[in-house]
Chain A
């Protein structure tokens, strides 16, 4: 496997279900990100992890729970979601989470298309 992989690619769940999204990067990066892409809206940054530590939570509802056991893996645990949470969830990684005056290019996975019924 190369680059950033995500599983599953498609997920349909009811509002009472619990599911998890998985992301794995094979780039030797230290920072990982979750984004939400809804129809007709710009990509929204959800969470950032740098060296396994969460460095940003962009006011995401608690029904989304991220987990980063190591620099290569990132999970997004989902529970009691709402239909408006249906979206494409994209994972990305970069060499590291940069400082305020520099940046590292983010590389994205193919996303998980989530539908909440």
Chain B
């Protein structure tokens, strides 16, 4: 069975602060895929990143960065210099292949002025 845990239910930060969203996963698959999605108040899940289990390189995209560590089964997401527009619910998801994504319960990020 697969499981994704996002222990942080809600995080509040002040604009320009850095914030890290945690994601811990469980899987017995040797090959698997991890995702992050952003869900703003409008409802749409916006795809942010996909990572394969055999690629442990960290990734940076603008103010976003992801830290994948197989040793701790974690795939954490950091937003540098947060902005009000970053306010949303962020979901981490996992699949061992196929179409069935296992989602975490999400982390509500509030960025205030």
Contact = CB atoms under 8 A, between A and B. Distances in A.
A52 interface: no
B99 A94 contact: yes
Interface residues of B, number: 25
B95 A103 contact: yes
B33 interface: yes
Nearest to B52: A103
Interface stretch (A13-21, A37-45, A65-73, A75-83): A37-45
Interface stretch (B12-20, B35-43, B76-84): B35-43
Interface in A22-43: 31, 33, 40-43
A100 B98 contact: yes
Contacts, number: 64
Contact of A101 (B31, B46, B105): B31
The SS class assigned to the A binding surface is loop
Contacts of B98: 97-100, 103
Contacts of B91: 43
